[in-house]
Amino acid sequence: MFKDQNKSLKTGTCQLRLKASRDALEVIQGKWRVPIIISLTFGKKRFNEIKNEIGDISPKMLSQELKMLEENQIIQRNVYDSKPVMIEYELTPLGRSMKKMLEELLAWGLHFRKEIIKKQH
Amino acid sequence: MFKDQNKSLKTGTCQLRLKASRDALEVIQGKWRVPIIISLTFGKKRFNEIKNEIGDISPKMLSQELKMLEENQIIQRNVYDSKPVMIEYELTPLGRSMKKMLEELLAWGLHFRKEIIKKQH
DNA sequence: GTAACCAGTTACCTGAAAGTAATTGGTTAC
DNA sequence: GTAACCAATTACTTTCAGGTAACTGGTTAC
């Protein structure tokens, strides 16, 4: 990446890059998507389990974001025909494939915080 | 990362993770931040150079986002006292430290697109 | 002297994201 | 039979990101 120093953002390869980064951003952006995904990396979870873990998310937002993540095939909604009916959410292989990206995001976030705080003294 | 399967999001380490990922997201989210940063990974650029490379960004948005990135010490604004006065933007070391994260973002974005398209056939 | 380039700023507007609060329909424990 | 849990949904409101368009003050080329 970033090897073609002399090519502008308008070249084909670079447009592809921008598109790819926008695709990724679209999935992880917003206030709740990453927390939900991180929550599910710790295993299958039920609606209220996710809700309680994240803490300050409303059922409306959780429902909305779970739907979006399901549509994008990041998570899977499993309905078990027990009584009472139980619903579990889990990451799909595509969802699990986000691990490395999220690790880097997290690592840079930590680095960023450290640097910003350092420079404020 | 993600090794403490039995710990909830409310544990200290996990709260730290959520915080870090939110810090990182805050810097890269929005429509223009990543394009601007990617543009500057190709070298120092002037206001209108960035604008023309990205293409569809308005001067208002570019100005706003450059300011935000400067405040967060991702980029540096250099004023050269030539005539006419020249202004150049460049990545700081902190900005350059985003490279790996952006690479992963991009890589996953490509993977995502491939998977989604594959499953639609 | 006027047209164009540079690096922006200002005011106004719109649509999407997110929050709040109440409600739903089913189940189970007491 | 009523209180509580589960998995949401609905209606309403607020907030904010982003877009549009016009303008600014300085410089330079012709």
* Tens digit of pLDDT at every position of chain A (121 positions): 443 333 445 566 777 888 899 899 999 999 999 999 999 998 999 999 999 999 899 999 999 999 999 999 999 999 998 878 999 999 999 999 999 999 999 999 999 999 987 777 6
Type of residue at A4? D
CB–CB of A65/A59 below 8 Å?
A: no
With tokens 């595509």, the residue in question is A94
A48 inside 8 A of chain B by CB? no
- A-chain residue closest to B6, CA distance: A42
A68 inside 8 A of chain B by CB? no
How far, in Å, CA of A2 to CA of B38, rounded? 8
Type of residue at B78? N
Question: Does residue B36 carry a pLDDT above 60?
Answer: yes
With tokens 């604008």, the residue in question is B51
Q: What's the pLDDT score for residue B43? A: 93
How far, in Å, CA of B28 to CA of B10, rounded? 25
Is strand C within 7 Å of residue B48 (CB)? yes
Percent of chain B with pLDDT over 90: 70
Secondary structure class of A77 (helix, strand, coil): strand
Structure token digits, residue B46: 């002037």
* pTM passes above 0.85: yes
